[in-house]
A and B are shown apart, each in its own frame.
Chain A
Amino acid sequence: MNGKQRIVLALSLGWLLLTAGSTALSAEPGQTKVADKSAILISSPSSPLVSFRFVFRVGSQDDPSGKEGLAALTTAMIAEGGTASLSYEQLLEKFYPMAATLDGACRKEATAFQGTVHRDNLKAYIPLVTELLTAPRFAPDDFKRLRNEALDYVTKTLRGNNDEELGKWTLQCDLYKGHPHGHPDRGTVQGLKAITLDDVKAFHKRYYTREALTLGMAGGFEPAAASQVESNLASLPRQAQGLPPLDPPAVRPGLEVTIVAKPAEATAISIGFPIDVTRRDEEFYALAVANSYLGEHRTFNGKLMQDLRGKRGLNYGDYSYIEDFIQEGMSTFQVPNNPRRQQYFSIWVRPVPRDKAAFALRAALWELDRLATEGMSPADFEATRSFLLNYSKLWVQTLSRRLGYAIDGQFYGRNDLVTELAERLRRLTVEQVNAAVRKHLKPPGMKIAIVARNADELRDILTSGKPSPITYDTQGTPENILAEDKQIAAFPLKNVTVKIVPVERMFEE
């Protein structure tokens, strides 16, 4: 069966069909065996919109050493740089009346291009986006503009305009030091400066292959449109590259703290450690329940949020994660198409006042320790499982997101996450959850990234072995909270090492 026949069959079968090649991201190094073509089509005839996702199995993990940022710059050169037949300016003129775009995002192990267009404009949109992917223009002017943008992002935006992102990227770089995941996706300063336009062209030729691509379309389109997309992509090189090997990231016992020193009004904190669990594993779904209980992203359900913000007013929010998590726009939901072979657990403590930073760090570690030591109660387990079963259905409210989740399921050799949760959570027990927590969330060592003005003072506090009590400037803190505060203030910080890095040296190379 050829690709065209497969797409027509998919549509005739109706809702969703995953074609052969569902092992695309699941193959291990040296065993890269993927189907020639893979496509996920979701037909919704009543929709006036058509969403596209083109997900390539290439990411910042493929950046050559010394050229960190090459994968992301190639993504930008495709999405924001015109085609062989149209300059970027001409392309924008074509896109503008349709209010259409092709947005590109390079992540660690995948690069996702997505766009949504009204079906009135489908015929005009398809040749533009397929030419962007197969025959990008790679003009020198666009290269200069987009490389400068990436440099501005790293040196100005990341270092100077958003302490929370700075903290999160510091944590990721520390967790994966000397590892393909160990630099910002947008690149390092020296890496970006070393990249040439020829590097971008070669990278595109090497990694943008049909085998590396999962194509997704959803919405009110006819079979002919899907066939057209497939046929336009035929000029991509066929065979995918093997995946770079990923060694297990090294973690030594104790707390390894990096304090990024900068003139910050408040103190941003990120805590994390690698976990050997992904959506591929049974235990992922057990950890998903425990994590939701501890700190579901941007909800008021989590213990971290209730205890640090709600009861103590320490900051704006506190959440936890069992995989790399990027929020989609203003929503509270995770972006799709950020699949990874290796994941990490993290806690995000949003900026706290300087004098409460050490206490807030201890409070977050204390909450995690309580979960790992005491486990979830049967009642909390039931409530959280019920929540996740319903809440996860909201993750796929739009056609584009359904498509994204379906593609991710394929990468992990699973159904989409929402379907997996619906099936697996019903069978899960509180004992399984607590066993997974004990096994994975009580590591010998953790890394901590802090962005702070008072780096030296904070280092002294964290390494002193002394308690860090909290002093409230608010009245009426209940006695039970004050009693807990004493435990938190003295929560042992074992084997602490602190490295202080001036912000202007971050992400340099």
Chain B
Amino acid sequence: MPRCLQFAAVIMLFTQVTAPAAGPGQAERQPIFPFPIQQTTLDNGLSVISVPFDSPGIIAYYTVVRTGSRNEVERGLSGFAHFFEHMMFRGTRKYSQEKYNDVLKSLGADSNAFTTDDWTCYHTTIPATALGTAVEIESDRFENLKYDESSFQKEARAVLGEYNKNASSPFLKLEEAMQNTAFTRHTYKHTTLGFLEDIKDMPNQFAYSKIFFDRWYRPENCTIVATGDVKHDELVSLVKAHYGSWARGKASVEIPTEPLQTEPRSAHVSWPVPTLPTLYLGYHMPASDPANPDIAALAAIEQAVFGETSPLSRELVLKEQKVVTLMAEASPHRDPGLFSIIARIRTSADLPAVRQRIADALAEAGRTPIDSARLDAVRSHLKYAYAASLRSADAVAHAVGESIAITGRPDAMNDLFAAFERLTPADPQRVAARYFIPTNETVIILETEKKK
């Protein structure tokens, strides 16, 4: 690759190491993320991150694109970030789709991709000896993707197939109804799959797909994360050689701001065959900036009010057995998202009572500080759950990739867990009183369709 090597010679690098050990004066607290993170930014804006640790012979190689369904601002083109994730496997002039697959096959790679509201991720787990090949074929498709209209249209129908497989679950309908009802202007209004009518129309959007690639598949919007049996210098050298000539982009879009909700909202979803009645509640919450203390406090409420040892869960699930599943999630998002609560209920007759019990539990959380022993248990639970989640090179790369995608930094989890440590019993009370109010609430109810 003489062209790339020549260019690489003039690339300026900015390297920093985020060490896991606490500095002077902070000796009492170890960061939650246990491995050193090394980061280098190339002159073209491409970030390169390595997390070496004991994973003999295996590397997880992630390309994080900070584009998800959040970026789909044009009407009629929802779901395109996810669709484009599919198109990225359709080949280049140098590596046709077949040849690309043959190379991955020869490596024995586990390779796939996924898209969320906020990011698109291309992930490959490979033998450490194959790092050079992975960098070459991944850089090639990010810089030189090439597909014709026929394969574009066939892939559009594979995406419809993905919608079809998900559509046999009522949870897709619930999610669609929640996002469509809770959001009025922001692009979180549609799910990552997109509106069904837009998915059906995808074969007609070949020209737009070129705009989409040109707009978002640019070095300053991407980060390479390699974890496991990897050496940072070797990785950077390979990335410089292969991605160095990738030109920065110019385009950007304005993502609409969601106006403040001022009245309760609701929707009803019916299901054609018997299903458990389900209550799905959403409350707008801030973007996942770890500097915002409300984020840690809401995560504590998720556990303390709705976790499996919470009083509400013990009563509704274990003692009264009215509810089969009770869960809440303060899902991390780049823009203000939703704190969601889901209760699958045994019979429809109990829906109003369960809804009232959840409202009472939230009101109580807003009136009373959390018990300090309970807060300690929540902190301990979150800490050990996180430690257990980092069980493979792939899991570590995912954790770092998500941090980059949501916050722009690879180590935001350290700040979040430091914020958990700083929480006082009054913090969850404060955020409960602030966010769990009727004018910030969206209620979706799922029930079996009534026979006529």
A contact set with B: CB distance below 8 Å? 46, 48-49, 88-89, 92-93, 96-100, 116-118, 120-121, 141, 144-145, 148-149, 152, 155-156, 159-164, 262-266, 268, 298-301, 306, 309-317, 331-333, 350-353, 383-384, 386-394, 397-400, 473-478, 503-504
Contact = CB atoms under 8 A, between A and B. Distances in A.
Contact of A156 (B106, B127, B274): B274
B394 interface: yes
B272 interface: yes
A476 B388 CA distance: 49
A214 B165 CA distance: 38
A49 B390 CA distance: 10
B364 to A, nearest CB: 19
A437 B434 CA distance: 65
Residue of B108, B317, B385, B394 ringed by the most chain A CB atoms within 10 A: B108
A331 B89 CA distance: 19
Nearest to B196: A265
A164 B388 contact: no
Given A121-B384, A161-B275, A263-B272, A474 B108 contact: no
Interface in B352-395: 376-377, 380-385, 387-388, 391-394
Contacts of B383: 99
Interface of B: 34, 54-55, 57-58, 89, 97-98, 101-102, 104-112, 125, 127, 148-150, 153-158, 160-162, 164-165, 167-171, 203, 271-276, 307-309, 314, 317-319, 321, 324, 346, 376-377, 380-385, 387-388, 391-394
Nearest to B130: A390
Nearest to A120: B384
A263 B273 contact: yes
B134 to A, nearest CB: 13
Given A98-B380, A159-B273, A298-B112, A316 B307 contact: no
Contacts of B169: 161-162
Given A301-B101, A474-B157, A476-B149, A96 B276 contact: no
Given A98-B380, A263-B273, A313-B157, A475 B149 contact: yes
Dominant SS among interface residues on chain B: helix
A390 B169 CA distance: 35
A386 B108 contact: yes
Nearest to B57: A393
Contacts of B381: 96-99
Given A316-B161, A476-B150, 13 more contacts: A92-B309, A96-B308, A96-B381, A148-B324, A161-B171, A164-B165, A313-B155, A333-B110, A352-B164, A387-B108, A394-B58, A399-B391, A476-B149
Given A298-B112, A386-B108, A391-B108, A265 B275 contact: no
Contact of A97 (B168, B321, B384): B384
A298 B110 CA distance: 9
Contact of A310 (B97, B104, B149, B394): B97
Contact of A49 (B57, B346, B391): B391
A476 B380 contact: no
A96 B377 contact: yes
Nearest to A318: B161
A316 B58 contact: no
Given A301-B101, A391-B108, A473 B203 contact: yes
A96 B314 CA distance: 13
B164 A353 contact: yes
A332 B110 contact: yes
Contacts of A306: 98, 101
Given A97-B380, A98-B384, A148-B346, A351 B165 contact: yes
Contacts of B171: 161
A475 B153 contact: yes
Nearest to B382: A99
Contacts of B319: 141
Given A93-B309, A116-B388, A398-B391, A265 B273 contact: no
B387 A313 contact: no
Contact of B168 (A162, A399, A474): A162
A399 B92 CA distance: 38
Contacts of B271: 160
Q: Which of A46, A300, A313 has the most CB of B within 10 A?
A: A313
B108 A390 contact: yes
A506 B391 CA distance: 39
B106 to A, nearest CB: 6
A474 B392 contact: no
Contact of A161 (B98, B104, B170): B170
Nearest to B157: A313
Contact of B110 (A162, A391, A478): A391
Contacts of A386: 105-106, 108
A99 B275 contact: no
Nearest to B385: A99
Contacts of A309: 158, 161
Given A160-B273, A474-B153, A96 B148 contact: no
Given A92-B309, A96-B307, A300 B101 contact: yes
B109 A391 contact: yes
B276 A313 contact: no
A161 B168 contact: yes
Nearest to B307: A96
28 contacts: A48-B387, A49-B387, A49-B391, A89-B314, A93-B309, A99-B382, A145-B317, A145-B318, A149-B324, A152-B324, A160-B271, A160-B273, A161-B168, A162-B168, A164-B168, A306-B98, A316-B164, A352-B164, A383-B106, A387-B108, A389-B108, A391-B108, A391-B109, A394-B125, A397-B58, A474-B153, A476-B149, A504-B274
Contacts of B276: 152, 156
Contacts of A164: 165, 168
A476 B105 contact: no
A88 B313 CA distance: 12
Contacts of A387: 105-106, 108
Contacts of B167: 265-266
List the 7 shortest-distance A-B pairs measured between CB atoms, nearest first: A390-B108, A476-B150, A313-B157, A474-B153, A313-B154, A266-B164, A99-B385
A350 B384 contact: no
A258 to B, nearest CB: 17
Nearest to B150: A476
A89 B54 contact: no
A155 B274 contact: yes
A397 B387 CA distance: 16
Contacts of A88: 318
B119 to A, nearest CB: 16
Contacts of B149: 475-476
A216 to B, nearest CB: 16
Contacts of B314: 89
Contacts of B384: 97-100, 117-118, 120-121
Given A148-B346, A474-B157, A159 B109 contact: no
A481 to B, nearest CB: 9
A315 B158 contact: yes
A474 B158 CA distance: 12
Contacts of B272: 263
A235 B164 CA distance: 51
B309 A96 contact: yes
B128 to A, nearest CB: 11
Nearest to A301: B105
B161 A352 contact: yes
A463 B276 CA distance: 37
Contact of A351 (B111, B168, B273): B168
A104 to B, nearest CB: 16
Contacts of A97: 376-377, 380-381, 384
B161 A268 contact: no
B105 A383 contact: yes
Contacts of A384: 105
